[in-house]
A and B are shown apart, each in its own frame.
Chain A
Amino acid sequence: MNIEREGYWYWFNNIDGIGRKKQQILLDYFEDVEEIWKVSEDSLKEIKALSSNDVASFVDSRNAEKIKKDFEMLKKWKVEFLSIENKNYPTKLKNIYDYPYGIYYSGNYINNDTLSIAVIGARNCSEYGIELATYFGRELSKAGVQVISGLARGIDTYAHKGALMSNGNTIGVLGTGIDICYPEENIKVMEEMLERGGILSEYNLGVQPRPGHFPMRNRIISALVDGIVVIEARKRSGSLITANIGLEHGKDIFAVPGRAFDKLSEGTNAIIKAGAKITTKIEDVLEEYFDIEESDQFSVKSRIITNQLEKTIYNILDFDPKCIDELEGESKLPIGQFLQGLLSLEIHGAIRKVANSGYVKIL
C-alpha cells in the first residue's frame, strides 16, 4: 500500500514510547523517514537507545490502514497534520533545536512574516491583569501584530479575547489535542479562534492535558514569536518558564511591572530585575521592531466622558475593583444619582462590574 510522505511523518510522530529524543536518534541513524518505515526489526535492535518494548511498539505501529483512518479522523475534525517538510509548517518553529517533527493545526495558518508577540501570564490573575491582557491583546492586534498565547485560563484567554476584539489573527498553542478544550470554560473563545484565528498543537487528537505538556507547549510559543510580554506571573510559574525559554531562543522579553510585594507580580518584577524590558503600553513593545514616531499613532485614546455626573464617578474608579459602598462614599452623591451614573457608565462600556467585589475601569 502506498503512503504519502506526510503519512510517514504522521506515523513517525505517533509511535508509543518514541519521543522527540529517540526520533532524533532514529533520523540521525537512518537519515530519512521512509527508510525508517522500511527498516527491519533486527537492524532496529542494533540501536541502543531503543528498549525491547520500543522495538515492539515500533513494529506494531507500522499499519498503513490505521494511518489512513487517522487521516480521515483528522479531516473530520478539520485538523491538518503539518510535517517538518510541509510548506505550511511555521518557519520560525524550525529555528529551535528541539522543533517538533510534526504539528497539528486548525484554522488560519501562521503568518511567518508579520510580527508575532506572545502575551502570557498567570492563570489565576487579578482584575487588573485581565484589563491589561485584554488591552495588550486588542491593541497589539489592532497594530497588525499576530498575538500568540496558550489559551489557558486567565491572562492567556483575555489576550486572545482582546485580539479577537480587533479581528486580528491570533494563534493559540495547546498542551492537549485540538479536540480537547482545556479548561472547559474556554470553549467559546476556542470556537471563535477556530473560525477567526488558529489553533496549533504538538499533540494528536485525544491527548489529555498532562503537567509535562505545558512546558513543552511553552517552547513552541516562544519559538513562534519575536517577543514575549509577561503580564502577571508568580514566582515559580509557567510564564517564567516561557520567558526563560524565550531568552534561550533569543527573543525579546517584556514585562509589566507590579507592586513590590504583590504575589502576582513577583515573577514579572524578578524578570525585570534580570533585564526584561519594563512595559506599560504597546508602544514599549512596538518600538523594538518599528520606528514609531512620538505622535501616538498606536496609543489608546483616553476615554472622553462628557457627562459631569459620570465623570465624577469615573474619576474615582480604578483598575482594582472598588466596592460600591466605597465608591458611593467617595463620590459624595446621593444614592440614586450615584447608581444612575454608575449604570450609565456601565452601559456605555466605560466600566465593568466584577462579581462580588465592585467595579473596575475598562482599559
Chain B
Amino acid sequence: MYSKVTSAMIRGINSSIVNVEVDISDGLPGFEMVGFLDSAVKEAKERVKTAIKNSGIYFPPKKITVNLSPADVRKEGPSFDLPIAIGVLMGMGIIEDSIVDTLIIGELCLNGDISKVNGILPIVYSARERGIKRCIIPKANIEEGAVVENIDVIGVENLNQIIDFLNDQISIEPKKINILQILQADTNNYRYDFSEIKGQQHVKRAIEVAASGMHNILIIGSPGTGKTMLAKRIPSILSPLSIEESLEISKIYSVAGLLVEKQALVTTRPFRSPHHSITMSALTGGGRNAKPGEISLAHRGVLFLDELTEFQKNVLEIMRQPLEEGKITISRVNATYTYPTDFMLVASMNPCPCGYFPDPNKCTCSPMQIKRYLSKISGPLLDRLDLHVEAPNIKYDELNSKKQSDSSELIKERVLNAQLIQRQRYKDIGIRYNSELETGNIEKYCRLGDEEKSLLKQAFESLELSTRAYHRILKVARTIADLDSSENINITHLSEAIHYRTLDKKYWSKGR
C-alpha cells in the first residue's frame, strides 16, 4: 500500500519541501530507502523499525520501500525519521486517514520518543508560504515553531502520541505565542554597561559614532587598555530588534541549532567574538553539512575580532565581499547557499607585536617588525574599517576617579536619535544607515560647505591621508552631524571624522 507524507529540508537558511513516499507490499521482507540520501538519513530505517516496535506496535515482515523526493537533491540529517515512521504506519493501516496539508518533521529515539531538530523556524516559515495549514514538530522545538503566525504548530513527544492525535483519539492544541511580548520583555537586560569603564572617553565616543551609523571600527591599543571590555559593551547601545530582524536572526540560529529550548526567538542583537584560530569555513559558513558561519551568526549585530592581526590573513580577506554586500554565497559540490551577513565589524589589535609601542622602556620591537605586523591588515580590509581609534594607556588616577561616565542607556538614547534621523532621510533609497551609503549618494547626502572643503583639502595634503579615506570620512562626518541633530556637516563634525582615520596617516610609525 502506498502512502505519502510531506516533510521539509533546510537549504541555506530557507527550506524546501520533501515528499516522503512509502510503499509496503508483499515479497521478500526488507527496508529499502532511496532518494539521494546521506548516511544519517539512511540510518533512519533502524531507528524507525525499533521505535515502532518499542511503541508496542507489531512491525510486519513486508517489503518496505521509502523514497524521498525530489531525488536530485542530497538530503541530510535525522529530521526525516518521523515522517518516514508516519508513512510506514499509514502503509500498515495503523494511521487510518491520509494526511493533507500537514508537514511533519522530527527525529526518533529507539524508545519512540521524538527529539529536537535544527532549523524548525525557517521550515515552518516556508511551510506557511506554501499554503500548508499544519506543522507537527518535536515538542522540544515548539517555541521556535510557534513564532510563525497563521499556521497551526503542534508539538509531539512520542510516537504513540502522534498516532493517537492523527487518529483523532486525542487533541493537541496548537501553540500560540505573542512575539511582541517576548521582544519587549527581553530588552534592557544586557549584562554590561559603559559606565563601568573608567576613562577612554575618546574611544567611547568613537564607538558611539560607529554604533549610530553602524560603521565598522578598529580599536588599537596596548594590552590592558580595555579594548575587549569596550567592545563587549557595544550591544548595550544598539537599537532594539524589530520583529523582522528578530525573525531573520532567529532563522539563522535555528538552522545553526543555536536556539536553546524554550527560546522562541533571538531577542538581543548578536555579539559574536570568534577566537583568532578560526578557520575560513567556520567564519563564512559552509562545510559538508552547510551551516551558517560566524559572520552570519553576527547578522544584524556585532562581529568582534579581538587581536585582528593574529587571525590568518586569508581568513580575514574573505570578509571583504560579505562586508560590502551584506551576504555571502557559498558554493559546494551539492548545492549553493546564501547566508545574510549584515553586521557591524568591531576589531581590536595591539600597536606592535609586543604590544607596548611606543613606550621606549617597554617596547622592544624594531620599526621593521612593526611595519610587518601592521601589514597583516591589508589595504582593502582597512578600507572597510570606517573608524580607527587608539585606546591609550589608562592612568591610575583615572581608574580611581569618582567621575561618572555616561551610562549605556544615555548613549543608546543618542544613538537611537541619530538612527531615526538616518532612517527618515534614507526611507526612499532603501537603506538604513550612513555606512550603507553608496558612492553615488555620498555626494548628495554628505554635502560640504566651502570652509569644510578647504579643511578637507588641507588635511589630505598635510596629513597625507590616503584617497580611500575620502568617502569614509564623509560618511562618518555625516553620522557625527546626525548625532548632533545637525542637517549640515560643519567643520567640527568633519574635524572629528578626520581624527578617526589614524591608520591612514603617515605617522603610524615612530617619530615624524
A residues near B (Cβ < 8 Å) are 124-127, 130, 134, 153, 157-158, 183-185, 263-264, 323-326, 328-329, 335-337, 339-340, 342-344, 346-349, 352-358, 362
Contact = CB atoms under 8 A, between A and B. Distances in A.
B358 A355 contact: yes
B61 to A, nearest CB: 77
Interface string B190-219: 000000000111100100000000000000
B367 A185 contact: yes
B358 A357 contact: yes
Contacts of B495: 336, 339-340, 342-344
Interface stretch (B155-163, B166-174, B314-322, B458-466): B458-466
10 contacts: A124-B360, A184-B368, A185-B371, A323-B202, A324-B202, A325-B201, A325-B202, A325-B398, A355-B390, A356-B390
Contacts of B512: 130, 134, 352, 362
B496 A339 contact: yes
Interface of A is mostly: helix
Contacts of B505: 353
Interface in B454-504: 455, 458-459, 462-463, 480, 484, 491-493, 495-496, 498-499, 502
Given A325-B199, A335-B496, A346-B463, A263 B361 contact: yes
B357 A356 contact: yes
Contacts of A263: 361
B496 to A, nearest CB: 5
A328 B202 contact: yes
Contacts of A124: 360
A149 to B, nearest CB: 15
Contacts of B493: 336
Contacts of A347: 455, 458-459, 462-463
Interface of B: 199-202, 205, 220-222, 351, 357-361, 366-368, 371, 390, 392-393, 395, 398, 455, 458-459, 462-463, 480, 484, 491-493, 495-496, 498-499, 502, 505, 507-512
Nearest to A354: B358
Contacts, number: 105
A325 B392 contact: yes
Contacts of B484: 336
Contact of A325 (B200, B499, B508): B200
Given A185-B368, A325-B201, A356 B358 contact: yes
Contact of A358 (B205, B392, B498, B511): B392
A353 B368 CA distance: 20
Nearest to A356: B351
A336 B491 CA distance: 9
A125 B360 contact: yes
B361 A356 contact: no
Contact of A353 (B398, B459, B480, B507): B507
Nearest to B366: A183
B491 A340 contact: yes
Most chain B CB within 10 A, of A183, A326, A354, A355, is at: A355
B462 to A, nearest CB: 5
A337 B492 contact: yes
Given A336-B495, A347-B458, A323 B392 contact: yes
B351 A355 contact: yes
Contacts of A346: 462-463
B507 A355 contact: yes
A358 B499 CA distance: 12
Contacts of B463: 346-347
Most chain B CB within 10 A, of A124, A125, A158, A343, is at: A343
Contacts of A336: 480, 484, 492-493, 495-496
Nearest to B201: A325
A265 to B, nearest CB: 12
Contact of A356 (B366, B367, B392): B392
Contacts of A356: 220-222, 351, 357-358, 390, 392
Given A323-B392, A356-B220, A343 B498 contact: yes
Most chain B CB within 10 A, of A125, A127, A184, A336, is at: A336
A339 B392 contact: no
Contacts of A264: 360
A353 B507 CA distance: 7
A328 B201 CA distance: 9
B392 A158 contact: no
Contacts of B205: 335
Contacts of B499: 339, 342-343
Contacts of A343: 455, 459, 495, 498-499
A102 to B, nearest CB: 32
Contacts of B392: 323-325, 356-358
A239 to B, nearest CB: 15
Contacts of A126: 360
A321 to B, nearest CB: 8
A355 B357 contact: yes
B302 to A, nearest CB: 24
* Minimum-distance CB pairs A-B, first 6: A336-B492, A323-B392, A340-B495, A356-B351, A343-B495, A185-B367
Nearest to A336: B492
Contacts of A185: 367-368, 371, 509
